[in-house]
Homo-oligomer: A and B are copies of this chain.
Amino acid sequence: MAYELYYWPGIQGRGEFVRLALEEAGADYIDVARGPAREDAGVGALMAVLERESITHPPFAPPFLKDGDVVIGQTAAILLYLGDRHALAPRDAEKRLWVHQIQLTIADLVAEAHDTHHPLGADLYYEEQKPEALRRAKHFRQERIPKYLNWFESILARNPKGDKHLVGKRVSYADLSLFQIVEGLLYAFPRGTKTSLAEVPRVEALHQRIAQRPRIRAYLNSGRRLAFNEQGIFRHYPELDG
């Protein structure tokens, strides 16, 4: 039975980390909320799950994944689940937890990237918080992007199995997520990110290698890959790129 992924249509957002894992796994899945507006598809189907009182494990917010009767929310938890099922994480318990720890730090970075354009909160438009966004984005570009990228670089440099993957000698969902982070940062802050990437050659090489993996390349060239835009997490507002 195909997985059902539930996420807001029209943006990559947090759902994209799940999509990349499903695509690399070659898994059969339905991107439910991008389907036609019927009872069992579209945003209505997503809202129906969020509001269904018979669900024992209700997700707090999208993305969430349905695997038969199992419903899982929280991006990192979904990836923990998929990692085991599709060999996108090591079997060894300590390394498996390490992949997850990296993913949780990526989640923190994603939240910070979102806050650059919405420092005052998601209940106001960007245009209503532009001075604060300018300040926040500057700090993010100058301090946070380098700090995170250097951390990923050090992980690659220290991997006992070589610097081709974050953990072990096979691709994991954390590698796929780091690819997506670099893509997103390059879209949102092209100037600042290119400067920072020049200092972390292992991260940049990983980013390029992931893009060339056959299933990922096919996905990126397909209609299933949405373009970045200014409704998502990574938004390109030139004024925020310094």
Contact = CB atoms under 8 A, between A and B. Distances in A.
Contact of A100 (B77, B119, B123, B143): B77
A108 B57 CA distance: 17
Interface in A65-122: 70, 72-74, 76-77, 80-81, 94, 97-98, 100-101, 104-105, 108, 111, 115, 119-121
Nearest to A64: B101
Contact of A58 (B59, B119, B154): B154
Contacts of A77: 97, 100-101, 104
A97 B148 CA distance: 27
A101 B72 contact: yes
A151 interface: yes
A2 to B, nearest CB: 19
A104 B81 CA distance: 14
Contact of A104 (B76, B119, B121, B148): B76
A199 interface: no
Nearest to A109: B60
Given A56-B158, A74-B105, A151-B58, A120 B100 contact: no
B94 A70 contact: yes
Contacts of A76: 76, 104
A97 B120 contact: no
A135 interface: yes
Interface string A134-177: 01100100010000100100110011100000000000000000
A47 B148 CA distance: 17
Per CB-CB distance, the 5 closest pairs between chain A and chain B, nearest first, are: A74-B104, A77-B101, A60-B105, A74-B101, A57-B98
Interface of A: 53, 55-60, 70, 72-74, 76-77, 80-81, 94, 97-98, 100-101, 104-105, 108, 111, 115, 119-121, 123, 132, 135-136, 139, 143, 148, 151, 154-155, 158-160
Given A58-B154, A121-B136, 16 more contacts: A53-B158, A55-B158, A57-B98, A58-B158, A59-B101, A74-B104, A76-B76, A76-B104, A104-B104, A111-B111, A119-B119, A119-B120, A119-B121, A120-B136, A121-B135, A121-B139
